[in-house]
Amino acid sequence: MFRRRRPCLAVLLLALLTATAAGCGDAGDLRSAGATPTAISPARLWPTMRPAASPAWPYDEVQIETVKGVTAPGDDVRKVDPVAVVRAEVAAHPDDYTAAKAPYRETAARLADCGTGGTGGTGSGRNGDRGARCPVMKPYFRDLTGDGREDMTLGFRLYPTNQTAVRVYTFERHRLVQVFANDDAVIGVELAGRAVIIRSPAGIAGYEYRTTWSWDADQRAMVFSRDEFLRTAPHRPTRARTPAATASPSPVPRPSPTTTPAPAPSASGR
């Protein structure tokens, strides 16, 4: 076996030096991939334009808030009552939930249907042992901060807007801290690694808008890291309808061919 390979190996070495492949075929030879498109550098528009003084949207705005009055044995976030967490937010932000012109007054009212709450994940059904009108949704647990301990991702509905509030909580020095807050029209929420992905309607059929928020150890919060405008289904552009006043007139129907009647007999009967 080894003796048969040596001559072929020698030929391969010779082929590399002389650009031929006699005795071992041409497998591995360099082949042309066709014409290479010409590289086009990006064109900078309006180079003298003055930069904007502030961003159009404060994506880097960090919302860190200590949840007052909510604790858990051993700082175990799974033992936190999610209803108590939402009630603490309602109490801390009366302008949003309980004031006369608060936009989410109905959410605060529906908390009465949540009963006494209970630890996260207990009970049966989507909202555990809570009533059907309770706005608090099932919590999910995953280490998003990278400290080796689980954090809680919690959602609750904002009525009457039908938006969804998404929050992330972690324990720091025996205090429950909110490290992420987002209120939006939501199609779905996903957890990927140490990131929260929020899918929202884009306002165009067949598309959706996705924002990704990742843990930032320096700011000790989930911060905006990426946004995408994605096509999720086939979409046909809406075509404007022709107004009735400018519609083309219907063609005049042509008379169908008929048999020519015989001439009427004369008065003389001839």
So what's the pLDDT on residue 2? 37
Give per-residue burial for 126-144: e unless 16+ CB within 10 Å, then b. ebbebeeebbbbbbbbeeb
Token pair recorded at residue 17: 């030096």
So what's the pLDDT on residue 269? 45
Give per-residue burial for 187-212: e unless 16+ CB within 10 Å, then b. eebeeeebebbbbbebeeeeebbbbb
Q: Is 232 a residue whose pLDDT tops 90?
A: no
pLDDT band at 31 (very low <50, low <70, confident <90, very high): confident
So what's the pLDDT on residue 27? 60
117: left (phi over 0), alpha (psi -120 to 50) or beta: left
For the entire predicted model, the pTM comes to 0.67
pLDDT, tens digit (0-9, with 9 covering 90-100), for 144-196: 999 999 999 999 999 999 899 999 999 999 999 999 999 999 999 999 999 99
25: left (phi over 0), alpha (psi -120 to 50) or beta: left
Q: Where are the domains of the chain?
A: 65-231
Terminal Cα distance for the chain, rounded = 120
So what's the pLDDT on residue 252? 46
Q: Is 10 a residue whose pLDDT tops 70?
A: no
Q: Return contacts of 41-47, CB within 8 angstroms, 24+ apart.
A: none
115-129, 208-222, 242-256: which is most confident: 208-222
Token pair recorded at residue 182: 């987002």
DSSP codes of every residue in 84-100: HHHHHHHHH-HHHHTST
pLDDT, tens digit (0-9, with 9 covering 90-100), for 38-76: 878 788 888 888 887 766 666 556 678 999 999 999 999
pLDDT, tens digit (0-9, with 9 covering 90-100), for 87-127: 999 999 999 999 999 999 999 999 999 976 444 433 333 44
CA angle 112, 114, 120 (to 5 degrees): 150
41-50, 77-86, 223-232: which is most confident: 77-86
